[in-house]
A and B are shown apart, each in its own frame.
Chain A
Amino acid sequence: MSGGRSAEGPVWSLHVGVVAGLLLLNFVLPDYHHGVFARILVLAVFAMGYNLLFGYVGLLSLGHAMFFAAGLYGAGLPMVHLGWGVPAAFSTGIVCGLVLALAVGLLALRTSGVAFMIVTMMFAQALALAVLYFGQWTRGDEGLVIAQAQRSLDLGPWRLDFTDPATRYLTALALFAIVLSATLAIVRSRFGRVLVAIRENEERTRMLGYDTFRNKLSAVVISGTICAAAGATYAILFGYVGSSFAGIQYSILPLLWVLLGGSATTLGPLIGTLLMYYLVDGSNDVLKAWLPDWRFSHLGVVGLALILLVLFFPRGLLGTLRQRWAGWLP
């Protein structure tokens, strides 16, 4: 696992160091990468929410796009149609994700294994179809754009303009830091240890006196709420609320990010999201430069890279690192 063997000092130093490093990047990154990093930080939060359930509890969901979308639409719809401000919209997005996660958890946790995967995927598909069905409010495939003027927050004499690149980056980083700290605290808590025990052997955990259903439900709700927070933040920072975020692709992506970075590691989701984003983003340019006659999709390069990673880092980058050299990594 996990936290129990982790040494306190290095663990906190590493996490504070990562956040400090990301803060430093705000001042040195070129414009394009500055925007990309802000997006990656929000998506990494999405992956961290997914990782809590998949990595630490061992529940493979193929429907987490619904929680991201619940936050996205929960925040975006009232901003566009009701003219709500950022705090109310953000809170609504989170509450939507929480309520949805509770409802889905209560039903989906009556299944396990492949059935859980399918049930979560069906719920997500139902939500994606609902987004298209209620097109008069969601504008279906086209999506909604939140007016720039609405994407700001007045704090007395100060005004936070979320369309400003630095504010956007720092807001994404703040959310990332909060969720990273919360995740670290959870996985090192008693609750976190019980989650890992459930992943290892659910029946044995129940035999030791733990209500495994209640613990798993709590994990689904926390995971869904974190993903919804990422969705709500995405809507506010980037101003776009689109149905693609509710589609199956956004249920599979966090799984890939987590597998690449290392499941059941606190920083794996960030590493995986970063790597995947730049692999997809950069492979086209690399192909043009090195193989101008290449006529196939640039995603072939991504696929090759993923195969190599799985071959040499079967537990993901940080997972393998922890297994081979740094057992203290949480």
Chain B
Amino acid sequence: MTAALEIRGLHCAYGEVQVLHGLDLTLEKSEVHCLLGRNGAGKTTTLKAIMGLVRATSGSVVLAGRDLAALPAHDVPKAGVAYVPQGRRLFAEMTVAENLEIGLMARGRGAATRDGVLQLFPLLRERLGQRSGTLSGGEQQMLAMARALCLEPEVLLLDEPTEGLQPSMIARIRETVATLKGRGVSTILVEQRIDAVLSIADRVTFIENGRNRDTVEIATLRGDPALVRRYVGVG
């Protein structure tokens, strides 16, 4: 397999507090790679560091031979990485169509991309004129993912996409991730729901105190639930 994204020796800090201590991670092409760890382990910080929202003090994040850690944050999405943060963070006063348009404009994409995204989320087509702040939680999550996909990313970062959603919506999110994998999109997923991880991830990296402790194939994890207990304390 070829690597879509390679993180080597990543160190990050919030002021004086060091959060990542030399994290290494390889995301293969078309892989769904899940990050698991306790609260405060550094999962979300890893995603933010990839996006340049938290500056790396040392280390590299390489996408197609380009070190993203050296780019300003606004150039990272143009390089091919899209991020769906925890809590969705839509432009609540804008309509669904306007939210999508902001995503499309960022990489100069047009109607064909928009149609492709709306095929993935047909429900949004019926809500195009609706203010996004009035959508249900599940619909907002779909819109957040749809807007990220308007960038046509090679790498997608999802931070707890199933948080607070009803089972039917969670199933749709899983289906979408699987569809994107089929289209060659590589995904890093931060997820607390072990059942979701087991059903969609290819590999899992356990993060502890800002370091990657172990990376395992999903089959290994299915056969050894004690691994999750050891690193996450649940399961």
Contact = CB atoms under 8 A, between A and B. Distances in A.
Interface stretch (B90-98, B172-180, B182-190): B90-98
A208 B89 contact: no
Given A201-B89, A209-B74, A194 B94 contact: no
A5 B83 CA distance: 27
B105 A206 contact: no
A64 to B, nearest CB: 24
Contact of A4 (B73, B85, B90, B95): B95
Which of A190, A196, A204, A211 counts the most B-chain CB atoms under 10 A from its CB? A204
Interface in A293-330: none
Contacts of B92: 200
Interface in A178-194: 190, 193-194
Which of B77, B83, B98, B129 counts the most A-chain CB atoms under 10 A from its CB? B98
Given A206-B73, A209-B151, A194 B93 contact: no
A118 to B, nearest CB: 23
Nearest to A214: B74
Given A1-B98, A5-B129, A200-B92, A194 B85 contact: no
A1 B74 CA distance: 23
A interface, over-half SS:
helix
Contact of A200 (B53, B91, B107): B91
Interface in A1-52: 1-2, 4-5
A208 B103 contact: yes
Contact of B72 (A2, A204, A211): A211
A211 B76 CA distance: 11
B93 A1 contact: yes
Contacts of B72: 211
B74 A193 contact: no
Interface string B108-133: 00000000000000000000010000
Given A4-B98, A207-B51, A207-B83, A197 B91 contact: yes
Contacts of B129: 5
A201 B144 CA distance: 13
Contacts of A208: 77, 102-103, 106, 147, 151
Contact of B53 (A197, A207, A209, A212): A207
A204 B107 contact: no
A12 B183 CA distance: 44
B101 interface: yes
B98 A203 contact: no
Interface string B46-80: 00000101000000000000000000111111100
A197 B74 CA distance: 14
Contacts of B94: 1-2, 4, 196-197, 200
Interface in A140-170: none
Given A4-B98, A210-B74, A193 B93 contact: no
A205 interface: yes
A205 B102 contact: yes
A196 B147 CA distance: 16
A203 B89 CA distance: 9
Nearest to B89: A204
B130 to A, nearest CB: 10
Contacts of A190: 105
A207 B98 contact: no
Nearest to A191: B105
Contact of A207 (B77, B95, B101, B105): B77
A4 B129 CA distance: 9
A201 B106 CA distance: 15
A196 B107 CA distance: 18
A210 B83 CA distance: 14
Contacts of B85: 204, 207
Contacts of B103: 208
Given A5-B129, A200-B94, A193 B102 contact: yes
A1 B95 CA distance: 9
Interface of B: 51, 53, 72-78, 83, 85, 89-95, 97-98, 101-103, 105-107, 129, 147, 151
Among all A-B residue pairs, the 5 with the closest Cβ atoms: A209-B77, A209-B106, A200-B91, A4-B98, A211-B74
Given A4-B101, A196-B91, A206-B73, 12 more contacts: A4-B95, A4-B97, A5-B95, A190-B105, A193-B98, A194-B102, A197-B91, A201-B89, A201-B90, A208-B102, A209-B78, A211-B74
